[in-house]
Amino acid sequence: MSSSTLEVLSTVVIVVGALAVIVIRLQAAKKPTSIKKIIMPPIGMSTGFLMFISPLFRMPWTYALMAFLAGCVLSLPLIATSHMQSQDGDIYLKRSPAFILVLLGLLIVRLFLHTYLQRFITIPQTGGLFFILAFGMILPWRVAMLLRYRAFTQKVEVLRLSKSNG
């Protein structure tokens, strides 16, 4: 497969993946959330680190660290636009129109960076780098969601107890 074909294919995969994430997030907001639903995405995603067994995907540690830290910074808008609400005794992730805009903005940034970085590193290394960046985004976002979920469940429980005692 030629380099230009791989570039087009990788761009298509990035766009389809990002759109799938948006659709999945919108669907998930229709169902109650739980600790399991919050922690499973980063746990499941962590298996992707197996790609680095192959020498094709390996890169300097500094690149990986910078990608992870960039992901952490890019997680801040996701954290800021993710909220919870109680409905009929269940906890739901509250949909925010800003959330979709943040994801689309991140997609545009990612596409630009992907095109730029491919000049300096191989396509598999670029894929590995963006996997680390994505993991750097999802991990702090999900940790923040878990902390909010726990705080929210405690608050809901206190309100429920005060109503039953009052």
Measured in degrees and rounded to the nearest 5, phi and psi for residue 93 equal -75, 125
* pLDDT value of position 35: 94
In 3D space, the residue among 50, 55, 45 whose CA is nearest the CA of residue 133 turns out to be 45
* pLDDT value of position 158: 76
Q: How far apart are CA 76 and CA 61, in angstroms?
A: 23
Give the global pTM: 0.80
Q: Which domain holds residue 58?
A: 3-165
* pLDDT value of position 53: 96
* pLDDT value of position 98: 75
Residues 6+ apart with CB under 8 A from 64: 128, 129, 132
Say how many CA atoms lie within 13 Å of 141 toward its Cβ: 27
Q: What is the pLDDT along the chain (166 residues), one digit of tens a residue?
A: 676 777 777 778 777 877 887 787 777 778 899 999 999 999 999 999 999 999 999 999 999 999 999 999 989 988 998 888 888 878 888 877 777 777 787 778 777 887 788 788 888 898 899 899 989 999 999 999 999 999 988 887 777 777 777 6
Count up the domains in the chain and report the number: 1
